[in-house]
Copies of this chain bind each other. A is one copy, B any other.
């Protein structure tokens, strides 16, 4: 039972393969009568056009396939983004190949190489911190690229991010506004661009309120919930412990939660909203970003490039939103 080809359909319908091609692709120049006979043969044989072969020969060399390369598809944030990209692609008749990098430059390269070898028309990329020179030649050959969530150093392509720095600044200012002066920063890997931005926003807020930075209150490289919990315990053991916390992603926020109430209450604002954040005690105040909007914006940019837009690379910054729920007011001298 091999896959039938146009030749088989042509034989069954008593026409030439070329006529089948036209009929199957809905092109003009086929009489209604012939079209019906072809359709009949297609149904009988269960014929389906081989789109790989098709795109090999077509004048317009598109495969109608894009690649989506994220840090980790299992991360709800990227899952939402992926779904959003998929919907935009589906609307346009495009398919989506997905790959996770684990933030490893080597795996990123492997995945992208496999994608371009399949002739994807474009790539939506959450870039790792590694170099991206390997993208130059595919891009010259026509592969369009859009970065999302973070920019790729030295890569001049459309990029969609959120205002990480301003969002962090607002979060920390909120804590400052409640009278806190000793605000700890709990962050993830500092080699991730978003983390550096959020740290800069933290410093911005302190500076604009005339609070000197205390290095003892800054922790980077918190890569898991236990790391975050341990960091909080250390901070608590300080001679002058913080009265408030700024956590830079949901994992850290959650990791730190259990230690919020005792011995003294500590205020908290976290980056990233997540389900149930409003139902915890205390309800968590967070900076929220919209992964669906990120994905849709990136996809729209990519498709306009695929459709021929050759203008200069654009940089789109989406806004974050501070959601005040209560955890930012507790602790400190305000209570």
A117 touches B73 (CB 8 A): no
Cross-chain contact B74 with A80 (CB below 8 angstroms): yes
| A residues 1-43 in Cβ contact with B at 8 Å | 1-4
Q: Does A46 lie within 8 Å of B3, measured CB to CB? A: no
In the complex, the answer to whether A86 meets B65 with C-beta atoms within 8 Å is: no
B95 near A114 with CB under 8 A, answer yes
CB of A89, distance to nearest CB on chain B (Å): 9
Of B3, B4, B97, B116, the residue contacting A142 (CB under 8 A) is B3
A311 interfacial by beta-carbon distance below 8 Å: no
User: Is the beta-carbon distance between B86 and A116 smaller than 8 angstroms?
Assistant: no
Contact flags A110-133 to B (C-beta < 8 A → 1, else 0): 110111111100000000000000
Q: Which of A177-213 contact B (CB under 8 A)?
A: none
Indicate whether A73 sits within 8 Å of B83 (C-beta atoms), given known contacts A98-B98, A117-B49, A140-B46.
yes
A157 at the interface (CB under 8 A from B): no
- Is the CB of A286 closer than 8 A to any CB of chain B? no
> When chains A and B are docked, how far (Å) is the Cα of A76 from the Cα of B116?
28
A49 to B120, CA, bound (A): 13
Asked if A281 lies at the interface with its beta carbon under 8 angstroms from chain B, I say yes
Give the Cβ gap from A8 to chain B, nearest Cβ, in Å.
12
With A56-B53, A79-B79, A138-B48 given, is the CB distance from A96 to B95 under 8 Å?
no
What chain B residues lie within 8 Å of A83 (beta carbons)? 72-74, 100
From A111, which residue of chain B is reached at the shortest CB distance? B90
CB contacts under 8 Å to B, within A132-174, are 136-138, 140-142
Asked if A279 is at the interface (CB within 8 A of a chain B CB), the reply is yes
Say whether, besides A142-B3, A275-B254, A276-B276, A113 and B48 are in contact (CB < 8 Å).
Answer: yes
- Contact assessment for A98 and B117 in the assembled complex, using a CB-CB cutoff below 8 Å: no
Residues of B within 8 A of A252 (CB): none
- Asked if B140 and A115 sit within 8 Å, CB to CB, the answer is no
Q: Which residue of B lies closest to A96 (CB)?
A: B98
Let me know if A224 is at the binding interface, CB within 8 A: no
A118 to chain B, nearest CB (A): 5
State A333–B97 Cα separation when bound (angstroms): 54
- The residue in chain B whose Cβ has the minimal distance to the Cβ of A89 is B99
Complex: chain B residue closest to A137, CB-CB: B46
Contacts of A119 in B (CB 8 A): 50-52
Cα–Cα distance between A74 and B87 once the two chains are bound (Å): 11
Which A residues between 237 and 265 are near B, CB-CB below 8 angstroms?
A: 254, 257-258
Binding site for B on A (CB under 8 A): 1-4, 46, 48-53, 55-56, 63, 65, 72-76, 79-80, 82-84, 86-87, 90, 93, 95-100, 107, 110-111, 113-119, 136-138, 140-142, 254, 257-258, 274-276, 279-281
Given contacts A2-B141, A79-B82, 13 further A-B contacts (CB under 8 A): A1-B140, A4-B141, A46-B137, A51-B118, A52-B56, A76-B79, A83-B100, A86-B98, A95-B114, A96-B98, A257-B279, A258-B279, A276-B280
17 A-B Cβ contacts within 8 A? Answer: A1-B140, A48-B113, A48-B138, A50-B117, A51-B114, A52-B56, A52-B63, A52-B118, A52-B119, A56-B56, A74-B83, A86-B98, A90-B110, A96-B97, A97-B97, A258-B279, A275-B275
